[in-house]
Copies of this chain bind each other. A is one copy, B any other.
Amino acid sequence: MARLALGVDLGGTNARAAVVDMGSGEIVAAHKEPLRDRTPERVVAHVRHAVQEATAAAECGVDECGRAGVGVAGQCLGTTGLVLNAPNLGWRDVPLGAMLEAALGVPVTVANDLSVAAWGEKKFGAAKGIDDVVLVFVGSGVGSGLILGGRLHQGAQGLAGEFGHVKVHPIRPTTAARRCGCGEWGCLEAYTSGMNIAARVREELAAGAATLVRDLCGGEPGRVSATLVDDAYTRGDAYAVELWGEVGELLGTNMANLVTVLDPARLILGGGVMLGCPGLAALARRRFDEAVSRSALKGLSVERAWLGDDAGVIGAALLE
């Protein structure tokens, strides 16, 4: 009989639980539960329900899985199960591990969602069989997951991989500066994540910017997205060309610096902005190729993430 494991992907809008075959990495059954309420107690109840549905569909008990792994979009003190800061959930210092252990009745391991996704890709995806891997994610947020020497590198506290919070711009408030969701100034994420790009474009549209994006969103600021900017860029819109030049340079240079320092064999690219905006991705890639150390580049292959949204539950299930 297949050895089964339980993985949970806890994002800002949904909790998804899956029973995963540890031998093949296949999802035996999964259940997604919208988070109608984001208080820790209600979220734990949502996770519990998602787990019950998934295990019922897989015809196995939580006990049979023995333990559960959880990936959370936020800063997690890995060893303790404490979520320090999860902006999408509005959480600070939530003892998620202990709460879930009480609710599920099995040991629970909590880790950052991108560390978990990198681990999923390592076990059954684009990093299989490779010991040194950097996964860079550019979607609603920006971050990374690091597989170093064949192991998931979570750092001394479990906070490693915070690529979105490297400082790339003035770290003190200025008129042009954007504040990051983490509360600090100058973070890469504040300038390059899908949410921050959309917010900036909406502000600049409101301030009268001349751009095709205005037409593409049909005059509805709520429809502005990185994908729309990429459409405008592809059509040669000057505003989009300038914005993408800036964002592509920031992403490319900082991905290059990560590779220069860590010398991975593979760089995996994931996230809705990176995979859904081909114009931006090409600009970032060109800049990356120019900025990365020649020697590090020689040993590197670049690959798109394979597992997509499944990386979270698969990686979480297989956390060690």
Across the interface, do B260 and A166 meet the contact criterion of CB distance under 8 Å? yes
Residues of B within 8 A of A159 (CB): 263, 293, 295-296, 299
Q: Mark A265-297, 1 if CB is under 8 A from B, else 0.
A: 100000000000000000000000011011110
Query: Which listed segment binds B: A37-45, A145-153, A219-227?
Result: A145-153
- In the complex, whether A52 has a CB less than 8 A from a CB of chain B is no
Considering the complex, give the chain B residue whose CB is closest to the CB of A186: B291
Known contacts A149-B149, A253-B167, A257-B167, A156 near B263 by CB under 8 Å: yes
- In the complex, whether A251 has a CB less than 8 A from a CB of chain B is no
Give A146 Cβ to nearest chain B Cβ, in Å. Answer: 8
- In the complex, whether A216 has a CB less than 8 A from a CB of chain B is no
Give A85 Cβ to nearest chain B Cβ, in Å. Answer: 7
- In the complex, whether A162 has a CB less than 8 A from a CB of chain B is yes
A130, A157, A161, A263, most chain B CB atoms within 10 A? A263
Considering the complex, give the chain B residue whose CB is closest to the CB of A157: B299
Residues of B within 8 A of A154 (CB): 263
Give A177 Cβ to nearest chain B Cβ, in Å. Answer: 13
Interface residues on A, range: 35 or more
Residues of B within 8 A of A176 (CB): none
Known contacts A162-B293, A166-B261, A167-B257, A149 near B153 by CB under 8 Å: yes
Contact of A293 among B165, B295, B300 (CB under 8 A): B165
Residues of B within 8 A of A298 (CB): 157
Across the interface, do B295 and A75 meet the contact criterion of CB distance under 8 Å? yes
What's the Cα separation between A77 and B186 when bound, in Å?
35
What's the Cα separation between A167 and B294 when bound, in Å?
12
Give A155 Cβ to nearest chain B Cβ, in Å. Answer: 3
Considering the complex, give the chain B residue whose CB is closest to the CB of A84: B295
Contact of A295 among B146, B148, B157, B171 (CB under 8 A): B157
Across the interface, do A160 and B295 meet the contact criterion of CB distance under 8 Å? no
- In the complex, whether A144 has a CB less than 8 A from a CB of chain B is yes
Residues of B within 8 A of A160 (CB): 261-263
